[in-house]
Amino acid sequence: SQELEQSPQSLIVQEGKNLTINCTSSKTLYGLYWYKQKYGEGLIFLMMLQKGGEEKSHEKITAKLDEKKQQSSLHITASQPSHAGIYLCGADNIGSNYQLIWGAGTKLIIKP
């Protein structure tokens, strides 16, 4: 079965610094989703990637899917306190029409 591994599990970054979170799959990714969760709250959709080499940006957040479609990265430039939270990657479960499989999440703390 397909598994998603996120790294790091947690990250403490000084405000203003850049950071990267990774999501690695044991199998080819056909749809990769990034979500952000503020502590104890719901998940907010950030971006979806489907094609090898695809890159999308929204404000200071950039997500990429590698050419082999087995790894995605989420890069935050000039981090701000509003970026703090838990970032989760989800991927299409090939054996199901609608189900997603999920990484365990990366907890991001921004130090002022």
List of residues contacting other proteins (CB under 8 A): 31, 33, 35, 40-45, 48, 88, 90, 92, 97-100, 102-105
Residue 58 CB: number of other CB atoms within 10 A? Answer: 10
Instruction: Report H helices in the chain.
Output: none
The smaller minimum CB distance to other proteins, of residues 6 and 79, is found at: 6
Residue 3: CB minimum distance to other proteins, A: 11
* Smaller CB separation from other proteins, 12 or 44: 44
Distance (Å, whole) CA 112 – CA 109: 10
